[in-house]
């Protein structure tokens, strides 16, 4: 099962954003989608380092969770406990990303691998500042990314892996490969003993399609689907259809955030009950004994 950790008593940093001038994004939701304070989860102990737990921490999100961290339109999630420490997406603003990491006492230097879901600024905007802090990383990005973007990443000194087909990032960690037509996107798949953990940026290719691709890829049950589900402009009946299809795929835990929208979050909560997870920036999810052997030796 998962544990939910909360960090408390953090002070608020000034919000300032210089957004990457890509001029494209996932479609900003209503202002009401921002800065939503959720109730604190009970605190739990941090697991001993070197265990075979999987730890996911939301570093950037428009939904709030941990007081004192900055929200911003976008998404980023840190994956620890796997062979490589993986940063999935970077949010819109590297200063917010790095400030949130500092508050959470997470060192950018510990990241080995960056996986970018798609080229929208609210997912890649934080990359330049992150690379200023740590360029000793391998960046997995969709092959369809603009050439000048890729050149910029390489200029930082980072290694680039251009992804089209599904690929193994490190032991137990995969990307779905490029999906979609209009907006090309890849998602992260982590194989745990409990089942597959799927992390999406915006889910432009469709959250159901992504979940199905993950299942086809690894032939394991779907344990947790987390991230942007891109349902913010969907009607209740359309969202309910998505929920039905995810349940047919036997998704056990759903954690819609970022561009999922408030209506989807409430309908998922109704439907998944105790298997719904309200996530936002600072939320840490620990899946205990996720791996049979210690990932980091
Ligand atoms: Zn997007
Ligand atoms: Zn987005």
- Both tokens of 213, joined, read 């691709």
Instruction: State in Å: Cα 117 to ligand 2 middle.
Output: 9
Instruction: State in Å: Cα 259 to ligand 1 middle.
Output: 8
The mean-pLDDT minimum among 33-37, 93-97, 187-191 falls in 33-37
- DSSP state letters, 13-65: PPP-----TT---S----GGGSSB--PPPPP-PPPPTTSS-EEEEEEEESBB-
- In the structure, what pLDDT confidence band is assigned to residue 189 with cuts at 50, 70 and 90? very high
Instruction: State in Å: Cα 183 to ligand 1 middle.
Output: 8
How confident is the model at residue 94, as a pLDDT?
98
Going by C-alpha positions, the residue among 285, 259, 205, 278 that lies closest to residue 75 is 259
Are 159 and 138 in contact, with CB atoms under 8 Å apart? Answer: yes
pTM, rounded to two decimals: 0.85
- Of the listed ligands, the closest to the CA of 24 is 1
Instruction: State in Å: Cα 159 to ligand 1 middle.
Output: 24
Instruction: State in Å: Cα 220 to ligand 1 middle.
Output: 27
Instruction: State in Å: Cα 132 to ligand 2 middle.
Output: 23
Instruction: State in Å: Cα 268 to ligand 1 middle.
Output: 21
Going by C-alpha positions, the residue among 198, 178, 194 that lies closest to residue 186 is 178
Instruction: State in Å: Cα 296 to ligand 2 middle.
Output: 31
Exposure string of 165-187, with b = 16+ CB inside 10 Å and e = fewer, is: ebeebbebbbbbbbbbeebbbbb
Instruction: State in Å: Cα 73 to ligand 2 middle.
Output: 7
Instruction: State in Å: Cα 158 to ligand 1 middle.
Output: 23
Going by C-alpha positions, the residue among 291, 285, 286 that lies closest to residue 65 is 285
For the stretch 100-140, pLDDT in tens is 999 999 999 999 999 999 999 999 999 999 999 999 999 99
Instruction: State in Å: Cα 155 to ligand 2 middle.
Output: 25
Which helix or strand (DSSP H or E) is residue 259 part of?
Answer: none
For the stretch 217-271, pLDDT in tens is 999 999 999 999 999 999 999 999 999 999 999 999 999 999 999 999 999 999 9
Instruction: State in Å: Cα 75 to ligand 1 middle.
Output: 10
Beta strands 138-142 and 113-115, pairing class? parallel
Structure letter (DSSP) for residue 140? E
Q: Cα 43 to chain center, whole Å?
A: 22
Instruction: State in Å: Cα 204 to ligand 2 middle.
Output: 9
- Of the listed ligands, the closest to the CA of 72 is 2
Ordered by where they begin, the domains of the chain are 49-287 (3.60.15.10)
Q: How many CA atoms lie within 13 A of 154 on its CB side?
A: 9
Q: Is the pLDDT of residue 284 over 60?
A: yes
- Of the listed ligands, the closest to the CA of 259 is 2
Task: Report the share of the chain in percent with pLDDT over 70.
Answer: 81
Number of CB atoms found within 10 A of residue 208's CB:
20
What's the rounded Cα separation, in Å, for the pair 21 and 35? Answer: 23
Instruction: State in Å: Cα 289 to ligand 2 middle.
Output: 31
What's the rounded Cα separation, in Å, for the pair 143 and 20? Answer: 20
């Amino acid at each position: 099962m998962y544990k939910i950790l909360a960090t408390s008593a953090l002070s608020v940093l000034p919000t300032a954003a210089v957004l990457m001038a890509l001029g494209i994004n996932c479609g900003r939701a209503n202002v009401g989608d921002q800065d939503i304070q959720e109730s604190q989860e009970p605190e739990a102990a941090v697991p001993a380092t070197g265990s075979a737990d999987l730890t996911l921490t939301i570093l950037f999100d428009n939904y709030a969770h941990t007081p004192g961290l900055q929200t911003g339109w976008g998404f980023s999630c840190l994956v620890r406990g796997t062979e490589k420490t993986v940063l999935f997406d970077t949010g819109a603003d590297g200063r917010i990303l790095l400030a949130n990491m500092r508050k959470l006492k997470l060192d950018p230097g510990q990241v080995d691998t960056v996986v970018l879901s798609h080229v929208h600024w609210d997912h890649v905007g934080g990359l330049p500042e992150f690379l200023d802090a740590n360029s000793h990383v391998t960046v997995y990005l969709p092959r369809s990314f603009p050439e000048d973007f890729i050149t910029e990443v390489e200029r930082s000194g980072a290694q680039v892996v251009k992804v089209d087909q599904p690929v193994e990032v490190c032991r137990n960690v995969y990307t779905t490969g490029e999906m979609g037509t209009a907006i090309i996107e890849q998602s992260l798949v982590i194989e745990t003993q409990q089942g597959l953990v799927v992390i999406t940026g915006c889910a432009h290719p469709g959250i159901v399609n992504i979940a199905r691709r993950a299942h086809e890829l690894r032939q394991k049950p779907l344990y947790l689907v987390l991230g942007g589900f891109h349902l913010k402009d969907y009607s209740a009946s359309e969202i309910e259809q998505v929920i039905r299809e995810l349940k047919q795929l036997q998704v056990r835990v759903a954690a819609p955030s970022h561009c999922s929208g408030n209506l989807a979050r409430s309908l998922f909560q109704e439907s998944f009950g105790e298997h719904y997870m309200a996530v936002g920036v600072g939320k840490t999810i620990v899946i205990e004994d996720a791996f049979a052997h210690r990932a980091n030796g």
